[in-house]
A and B are shown apart, each in its own frame.
Chain A
Amino acid sequence: QKEVEQNSGPLSVPEGAIASLNCTYSDRGSQSFFWYRQYSGKSPELIMFIYSNGDKEDGRFTAQLNKASQYVSLLIRDSQPSDSATYLCAVNSNAGKSTFGDGTTLTVKP
């Protein structure tokens, strides 16, 4: 079992729709959770982080964390073509080591 699992996609949504990206992790001791966006050929950039159970909203992005279910998700409201990218889920252990999922490729169609 992979430490961090994501659906590889591709996930395709129409412009203006909600995109839902999911991630599960195996280490119950994980402390912090991150979503990175990576455009093709570029390095990842952090878009959201969440440390506590529940929802965290930042503009069109909402991160959701459920530690009991070992599940973290990212919702993108009012999806735009510029949101088309690969989204990487990352989970940090107590030691600060980040483990990344393989990413979900999102395509937003105009």
Chain B
Amino acid sequence: SQTIHQWPATLVQPVGSPLSLECTVEGTSNPNLYWYRQAAGRGLQLLFYSVGIGQISSEVPQNLSASRPQDRQFILSSKKLLLSDSGFYLCAWSDRGRRAFFGQGTRLTVV
């Protein structure tokens, strides 16, 4: 069966520090991969999605970037965090653009 791993679960980082969140998927090949951010009490904001290795689409211009170095690995990065980057970050994979399955999420607090 397919599983998705996302880590860490919580993270507290100072303003201006770099960020790297990693997500890996097991049990499927060539999945669509997504990074979402959720502000408190709000829905999911799509940040990046990828349909294949090296193929990244950015939805919202901001202080973040994403990379897909391997088929089942998706990384969210920032060179310098801002206070506004705080939130709940969710990685997800979908079966060719249909149902999405989410990782446990990373709660990021920038202080």
| Chain A residues with a Cβ under 8 A of chain B | 4, 6, 32, 34, 36, 41-46, 49, 88, 90, 92, 95-103
Contact = CB atoms under 8 A, between A and B. Distances in A.
Mostly, the B contact residues are: strand
A32 B43 CA distance: 18
Interface of B: 32, 34, 36, 42-44, 46, 49, 51, 90, 94, 96-105, 107
B28 to A, nearest CB: 14
A103 B89 CA distance: 17
B70 to A, nearest CB: 20
B104 A43 contact: yes
9 contacts: A6-B43, A36-B100, A42-B105, A49-B99, A88-B44, A90-B100, A96-B96, A97-B49, A100-B44
B72 to A, nearest CB: 17
Given A34-B99, A43-B103, A43-B105, A98 B94 contact: yes
B44 A49 contact: no
A96 B98 contact: yes
B43 A101 contact: yes
Q: Nearest 3 A-B pairs (CB), nearest first?
A: A96-B97, A102-B43, A43-B102
A49 B43 CA distance: 18
A95 B94 CA distance: 12
Contact of A103 (B36, B43, B97): B43
Contacts of B100: 34, 36, 44, 46, 90, 98
B103 A46 contact: no
Identify which of A34, A36, A90, A97 gathers the most chain B CB atoms within 10 Å of its CB.
A97
